[in-house]
Amino acid sequence: MSPLPPLLSGFLGTAGLAFIIGLELHAYRRRGAGALAPEAEGFGTTRTITLIAVLGFVLWVIAPVAPFCVGLAVLGLALLLDYRKRVQGGDGSLVPSVVGLIAYSLGPLALTAPLALLAALAVLVLLALGEQARIRRFSDAFPPEEGVTLAKFLVLAGLIYPLLPATDLPYLPGIGWTKIWMAVLVISGISYLGYLAHRYLVPRAGTLLTGLLGGLYSSTAATLVLARGLRATPEDAGFAPAAVILATAMMYARLLALIALLGHVQAALALALPFGGLFAASLALAGVLAWRARGASTQAHPAVSANPLDLPVAFLFAGLFVLFAFITQLVTTRFGASGLHVLSFAVGFSDIDPFILSLLDGKFAVSPQAVTAAILIASASNNLLKAAYALGFSRNRAMLPAALWLCAAAAISFGLALS
């Protein structure tokens, strides 16, 4: 069976999407009209939206410039008059007018743009119309300072990143300005997702969810929060050890995702087996501990950290990235792989993300196997730090299973790195 001609398939797609959008817009207008009669709803019926889309399609086929632009001007004037009438009746929403303009553009998009773009536009319009109440609740709950922080981050990502030179830093081959900033953007983005989920979707998350979401930002910070929470309310100790192990499991997943997203495919493949195995084992042990604690009470926890998109946090990460790169360059030049192993062990007691990413980006006097071993050692010593945090800040023997597993995972990583 031969496929439909492009013009016919474009026409049917335009009319079908416009009809669906018209149905949703009509429902949107009826919800807004409330007790008003249907005839008082004004512009926005399904037939109107469909015919507007068909008109845009036909005029684009006739001539993409003059007829289509004239039709757009006439439609804009009609929508302006309708909006003025609705404002006089107390309805100042621009949504129907904007949807009308989008419907008019569906035809040209169906003929010239990728299908994925057309589908994404339709989905966005349908969600904007159908999820009005949820969007309003989210907008009312969204703090102004979050918008300012996100805007600053978008400016840094969209303006500063393209302006950075593609050259390497002095005395650091392989460490380029753009690589540093890309690492900042990727790790901040992943951390921000966990931060938003914890603060706004589940602002008073339970113990297990705190470990899961906190591990996306920092497993060390999550462990600290959980240990302090257990010390404050020792009667809620049921799920705390499992949550600490969950946070460490998310550390392995986050590190693998970061390494792969930043293009270090070979390193990600080399670490897939050890990190994947430790991730799976951590999930299994956390599941066993959570099952044993079923029925126990669980406390709520605040968000693990401050906003990871704050500019000082981003600049601190970039500074640590460069600092660790310089230190690694000096150590590997003078002491080789053995010096790198000692350095990675020491760095594990601080923030390991900038160290690992600078290690992968740089061109140091060590083999790829030595770099992989250094990453394993850094993650191992970081686990030792978290084990000390879990016991020291909780002062509760309930954390002993989590601390023992963290030490065992560290021993496994040390063994793999030095074998």
Task: Give, for 350, the enclosing helix (H) or strand (E).
Answer: none
What average pLDDT does range 102-121 have in this prediction? 87
Pick the more confident residue, 147 or 334: 334
Please report, for the chain, the start and end positions of each structural domain, with discontinuous segments joined by +: 6-139, 143-418
Contact indicator for 220, 387 with CB cutoff of 8 Å? no
Whether 8 shows a pLDDT value over 80: the answer reads yes
Q: What is the pLDDT of residue 412?
A: 95
Report the share of the chain in percent with pLDDT over 70: 84
Angstrom CA distances, 195 to 200, 203, 352, stand at 8, 10, 19
Angle between helices 400-418 and 368-394 in degrees, nearest 10: 160
Q: What is the pLDDT of residue 167?
A: 84
Q: Which of 347, 355, 370, 367 is nearest to 419 (CA)?
A: 370
Lowest mean pLDDT among 65-79, 178-192, 354-368: 178-192
CA distance 227 to 232: 9
Q: What is the pLDDT of residue 168?
A: 81
Report the share of the chain in percent with pLDDT over 90: 23
Work out the burial of residue 245: count CB atoms within 10 Å of its CB; fewer than 13 is exposed, 13-18 middle, 19 or more buried: buried
Question: For 63-143, where are the alpha helices, taking DSSP H only?
Answer: 66-88, 95-112, 115-130, 132-141
Q: How confident is the model at residue 248 (pLDDT cuts 50, 70, 90)?
A: very high
Lowest mean pLDDT among 143-152, 180-189, 239-248, 313-322: 143-152
Residues linked to residue 176 through DSSP beta bridges, in sequence order: 168
Pick the more confident residue, 160 or 380: 380
Task: Give, for 370, the enclosing helix (H) or strand (E).
Answer: helix 368-394
CA distance 248 to 73: 59
Classify residue 306 as left (phi > 0), alpha (psi -120 to 50) or beta.
Answer: beta
Using H for helix, E for strand and C for coil, what is the string for 376-411? HHHHHHHHHHHHHHHHHHHCCHHHHHHHHHHHHHHH
Q: How confident is the model at residue 298 (pLDDT cuts 50, 70, 90)?
A: low
When mean pLDDT is compared over 42-46, 74-78, 113-117, the highest value belongs to 74-78
Q: How confident is the model at residue 123 (pLDDT cuts 50, 70, 90)?
A: confident
Residues 219-236: tens digit of each pLDDT: 888 888 888 878 877 766
pTM score > 0.75 for this model? no
What average pLDDT does range 267-293 have in this prediction? 92
Residues 381-390: tens digit of each pLDDT: 999 999 999 9
- Residue 201 CA, chain-centre distance (Å), reads 14
Q: What is the pLDDT of residue 402?
A: 93
